[in-house]
Amino acid sequence: MGISSCLLGEQVRFDGGHKLDTLITESLGRYFEWVQVCPEMEIGLGTPRESLRLIGDPANPRMVGTKTGTDHTDIMVQWAEKKHVDLARLDLHAYILKKDSPSCGMERVRVYGESGMAQRTGRGIFAAQLLRRFPLLPVEEEGRLHDAGIRENFVERVFAYHRWKEFLTTGPRAKDLVAFHARHKLTLSSHSDQMYRKLGQLVAGAGRRRMDGLLEEYGRLFMEALRARATAARHANVLFHIMGFLKRAIDSGDKAELVASIENYRMNLVPLVVPLTLLKHHLRRHPVPWVMDQVYLNPYPAELMLRNHV
């Protein structure tokens, strides 16, 4: 996983400091190998250094020194193009960027106009290049990852992207894509009904298309679907759908308990892990192969405990 170096405690900030984020290092650090990057250091600015800011057109800003006005935009763009070639070789599965940075900020970076007033409408120069070069790559800012829902969504996308890339290495045929899609049906349904149907239609015609174009389109839409935040209402619908497979196997008391648990989750009285744990308990006693094969039940290591907070 690529990451802004300062978030790992490296003293590479303009003031010689760092922005160590222990939420990232202590939770995600157990599952990922970090590839740390500090664009400003790597273009030779050193530390401590003059602070930078974005100016001009928010859609195509310039990155300049706050005191001298020295323009570092072109050298940053040229370096980023070469750096992204190196990063592509490393086969990244995700990237965490430093928020508000004129080089690394993903969104809402200050851009100063001619009046000297700033608008939070920009994107860091390196971040913009990264997102263009790796459109499927799960990317987030460390500030946003402190929101439990965004953090859960990001990690789910990371592991989904890993599964997709591993799938592509197998030389898949149409029937293999159908099977991959089938395992992710409940996951996709929890994120976006519209994208779930769109991907289903794509897979339904898999045998009539060239595989290279089909896989490219499916991968793009698959990752786009997962970017949509799963809501409590959509999760509840999926949970009730799973419960439907158990209606003949469990008694009325168990059904009432499950319904109450799912409704309590829908109303934000309990986290997602509560009804899921109850469903898994019944599935262990009354296995349903199609449901047990769904990625939705185990989208990432349970030890991350992300569903304890959403």
- Domains of the chain, by residue range, sit at 2-146, 148-310
With contact defined as beta carbons under 8 Å apart, do 54 and 62 qualify? yes
pLDDT tens readout for residues 240-250 = 999 999 999 99
Is residue 11's pLDDT more than 90?
yes
Q: Which whole number is the average pLDDT over 102-126?
A: 95
Cβ contacts of 265 within 8 Å, gap of 6 or more: 232, 235, 236, 239, 271, 272, 274, 275
C-alpha 173: how far from chain center: 27
Strand order in the sheet with 62-65: 62-65, 52-55, 109-112, 118-122
Instruction: Specify the DSSP class assigned to residue 16.
Output: S
Quote the tokens at residue 115. Answer: 């009046």
The confidence score (pLDDT) of residue 30 equals 87
pLDDT tens readout for residues 186-217 = 999 999 999 999 999 999 999 889 999 999 99
Q: How far is CA 258 from CA 82, 101, 278, 288, 297, in A?
A: 54, 46, 7, 17, 16
Q: Is 224 helix (H, G, I), strand (E, B) or coil?
A: helix
pLDDT tens readout for residues 27-58 = 888 899 999 999 999 999 999 999 999 999 99
Type of residue numbered 262: I
Is residue 114's pLDDT more than 90?
no
Compute, in degrees rounded to 10, the torsion defined by CA atoms 38, 75, 132, 8.
Answer: 0
The confidence score (pLDDT) of residue 116 equals 86
